[in-house]
Structure 1
Amino acid sequence: MARKPFVVTAAALLGVVLLLPVAAQTQYKSTMPDGRVVYGDRPAQGAAKVEEIQSDTSKGGLGGPATPSEKQVLKELEKERLQRESAQEKVRAAEQKLKDAQAARDNGKEPLPGERIGTAGGASRLNDAYFERQRMLEEAVWKAQRELDEARSGR
């Protein structure tokens, strides 16, 4: 007994699904007496003129299968899209590299142990290792900026 409602429901659902495409294939263009045009799946009441319009609901698509030239165009578009995405990824990577280099430069301003030399007057000064490290950090920022500029220009 428990199966009968399921079978009836399934059969009713199948019938509705099969009838939907048939109902959707015929449309009506109803021209009203005042000149308005109404489209629908049934003729509008009081229409002065009713035209039946048949819709093509075939599964072949609008133009059918793609021609070889259309396939070639699609391949070229896909290739161009992949090139753009690759270029965008290079720009993102170069931007991140520049941010990292700038952060390293900013964090590297404080002298490290061993980069200060005491003077006779009790003061201290920075030694050559500090300035060499600063030069290298600046150079890394400069290179990262140049790579970003090249990535943005597409070279």
Structure 2
Amino acid sequence: MPHPSLAPALALAAACAAAQALAESGAAPTRPAEGGATVYRQVMPDGRIVYSDKILKGGKLDETITVEPPVKGNPWTTEARNRPSIPPQVEPTQIDRVNSVPATGRRKTLEEATSDVIRAEMLLEDARKRRQAGIEPLPGERTGNAGGGSRLNEAYWARQQSMEKEVAQAEAALKRAAAERDTLRSVR
């Protein structure tokens, strides 16, 4: 006897198997308005459980199960029937880029400051490349209108704003690193 918590899963598996057997046998199951098949779970007088598309004589109806028809075509390209009407949301994750801090009591050398400037230049270049590559809208960032065209939605503009912010932060970090390097140069 299966564990009671497995009963719904076993019933669904049996219903699917019954629907498949009905389809292969050529029997016409009862079709509800949505296009799925109705399968009846019945307990027979001798204790057997029978899944059928018809209510059998002498069987006690235990449960009615509606089985959706299989999706036609490629399941990866087929659109879902009940698509949620929730707009895409962008929640940026705050990233604080911290350069390594020299030990207390020790001043940064000119070579370390120059290395920080080079690193900041590379980070700025990477941020600009990401911004340039991110100009094209991603799937789900367009909303259709009645004219047949589409316009960009809030998720697209939020992503663009986030990329602009990254570029601005990288530019500010480069300015700080260059100023620190220039200060060390003037001390020497």
TM-score category (smaller protein): 0.3 to 0.5
TM-score, normalisation: structure 2? 0.39
TM-score, normalisation: structure 1? 0.47
Higher helix share: 1
Whichever of the two has the greater Rg, that structure is 1
